Chain A
Amino acid sequence: MAGIGPALLNSLDIGLLLFIIAVGLNIVFGVLNIINFAHGALYMLGAYLAFTLINLAGMPFWVALLLAPLGVAIIAVVLDRVLLRFIYSRDVADSLLLTFAILLIINESVRMIWGSGIHVVQPPDLLAGSVELLGSPVSTYSLFVIVVGLLMLAGLWYLFNRTRIGRTMRAAALDRDMAEALCINTRLVVTGVFAFGAWLAAIGGVVAAPMRALDPGMGDKIIIESFIVVVIGGLGSFPGALIGALILGFIHGFGGRYLPEVNLLLPFLGMALVLLFKPNGLMGKGAHA
């Protein structure tokens, strides 16, 4: 079992990337009560914007990591003000329908702007190649992904537990009317939270770009994975997103190595098992949705 070390690191790298993406989905649901189908499309936009900034505008990766998510957040503000604000007070099903439409529009726009070909982004020189760790070569970039994931985790925990903005968001999630009565500008909070969720998705996209090929279907793939994460972890739960993402990361990282015959089945098996015993997910609250 010499392969356990690499398998562990690989699982963490898949899991923490999924966490960055899925946690945005969860925050948006938790505060706005919207299941954002277009979350994967925003992830894709992050990756394509990074590709444009790096390969076409010649910017360094680090600048793209800063700018591309901001760009996506701005797009999210527009989406929120133009489309989503009409459905916040309506049934969850309406948000599914609308965000699905947004997903289709973004997918088609990406195809029109960047074509349907495959694009790649090179990792920055600093992160190219591999290092020796636990007796086998580990790509430097996947260590970087793990570090980014852990930083995001710490940052988000701090935001929600230690800052005023985080508390405001939580207040708006718990009781919007009461928050309003306390002079919290909930309209601003709503827009801010949606943009923040999109920003997280785009961070995931930029971080994924140097290790995963860009194509117009990449958003669809990641949204399925993200939904599996939130089903396992519990919709709307912050620790749930972490636990769900790590479990799915381990399913991929170990399943592919040790149970390759059933690797197609494993994520769904994991999901089914969780649903069987904890229908709201491992960290899900009762009849929240």
Chain B
Amino acid sequence: MKKAKIKNLLLSTAAAITLGAANTSYAEELIKIGGIYILSGSASTYGEFAQRGINLAVEEINASGGILGRQVEMLYEDSQGKASVAIQAARKLVYSEEVDALVGLDSSGVAQGMVPTMPELQKPLIITHAATPDVTGDLCNPFTYRISVNVAQNMKAAAMVAAETDATHWTTIGPDYAFGHQSWEYFGNYLKELKPDAQLMSETNFPRFGAEDFTPFIDRVMNSGAEGVLISVWGGDLVNFVRQAQNRGFFDKDMELMFTVGAATEVLTALGDQMPEGVHLSTRYWYDAYDNEVNTRFVKAYMDAYGSAPSYNAEGAYAAIYAYKKAMEAARSADGPAVAKALSGMSLDAPNGKVTFREEDHQAMVSPNWGISGPMHPEHGIRTLTNLRIFDGEKVARSVEETGCKL
């Protein structure tokens, strides 16, 4: 019995070594990219949508000859929305799967935890979703890039919209973690600069992420006397919030409502005409906002494959793969440090126009989109965005000094 066990062990070790060796020679022909997203639990929509964008990019790239003549292969790991899990996943992808580069991260909390480990791994990471300003600020490092809008950029745009309204007394309702709190903090600071007589109410509302019943907080906002409300609740929580708010008559009150990620297509699809008309909605990428060749191709491919309008998360992930293609071709290799260096200051044509990674902090100069919810789209089954504004990415970004990033 014991002998058999040892023999088995030897055999499987030998098999593993052979496979491993086979793997390495195989790996030389492939570009491997690791994706770390939330793939389980209530926020797994975001992981799935990122995968959709990535799959489209990988298919297109592989069909046209790959990167440096090598086919691209994606390997995914589930972050479960936890920083510790994401760090383990990154190590596994880099050390045992030998990926050349990483994309991913849906949550600010995860990004804050994982980004500091990137220099150890010596592979580039492009963040496609997580929005905390810190990762291209205090925590920045030579290997970390972000292709999507961050909270600071979006809140500067939000403050510009808010400053034009008549509302002076502002409060917020957002999830009780980094994203909700940072959204309010940046919004408040920018609004004060633009409109010094604006009042930021001390009465704020931060329900637990995943709270399900937002009624107590909805009542509080309605009774607070606020004239404007910044709403940074997102995902399934936002769907719950809007439906419960609808029930309480929240939308009949005379308040300026600003949903910081309200134009996420997955939320609009779920809500349909329950999303009220005439409120301010923002998104990091609105599929209908960009009239360029890349966007036309991307939106069509997405609609053909999945039958719905692409979300910002799919767009960011799609663009990230193309960013790697361009950087690897510029570096003429898939070597980690070389690719990371090539990304710095690089521009590419993404669905949302020309995207440039700023050299000083590696934040992409991309444009937040703000609009007002309009009538239902006849074909797509979601609210349209009217009065659409595409803010200049450069102008809403923090100055390099403000970011606190030293590269």
Chain A positions within 8 Å of B, measured between CB atoms, are: 2-3, 6-7, 10, 14, 107-108, 111, 115-120, 129-130, 137, 139, 141-142, 211-213, 215-218, 220-221, 252-257, 260, 263-264
Contacts and interface: CB of A to CB of B under 8 A. Distances in A.
A115 to B, nearest CB: 7
Interface string B171-200: 000001000000000000000000000000
Interface stretch (B82-90, B213-221, B392-400): B213-221
A137 B244 CA distance: 12
B240 A212 contact: yes
A200 to B, nearest CB: 19
A252 B216 contact: yes
Given A130-B247, A211-B244, A220-B42, A3 B239 contact: no
A118 B217 contact: no
B248 A116 contact: no
Contact of A263 (B208, B215, B235, B248): B208
Contact of A3 (B44, B208, B223, B247): B223
Interface stretch (B54-62, B262-270, B327-335, B363-371): B262-270
A119 B214 CA distance: 18
B107 to A, nearest CB: 13
B45 A118 contact: yes
B270 A256 contact: no
Nearest to B48: A116
Most buried by A among B216, B217, B235: B216
A256 B217 contact: yes
Contacts of B240: 211-213
B210 A255 contact: no
Contacts of A139: 244, 247-248
A254 to B, nearest CB: 7
A10 B218 CA distance: 12
Contacts of A211: 240, 243-244, 247
Chain B contact residues, majority secondary structure: helix
A7 B219 contact: yes
Contacts of A257: 216-217, 219-220
A6 B248 CA distance: 10
B164 to A, nearest CB: 29
A215 B41 CA distance: 8
Given A252-B213, A257-B220, A263-B176, A111 B44 contact: yes
A105 to B, nearest CB: 12
Nearest to B47: A116
B245 to A, nearest CB: 11
Contacts of A215: 42, 44-45, 235-236
A14 B244 CA distance: 13
8 contacts: A3-B219, A212-B240, A217-B42, A218-B42, A218-B236, A256-B220, A260-B205, A260-B220
B178 to A, nearest CB: 14
Contacts of B220: 256-257, 260
A247 to B, nearest CB: 15
Interface in B1-44: 40-44
Contacts of A7: 216, 219
A6 B217 CA distance: 12
A215 B46 CA distance: 12
B212 interface: yes
Contacts of A256: 207, 211, 214-217, 220
B270 A213 contact: yes
Contact of A220 (B41, B204, B214): B41
A2 B222 CA distance: 13
B249 interface: yes
A214 to B, nearest CB: 8
B251 interface: no
A6 B222 CA distance: 13
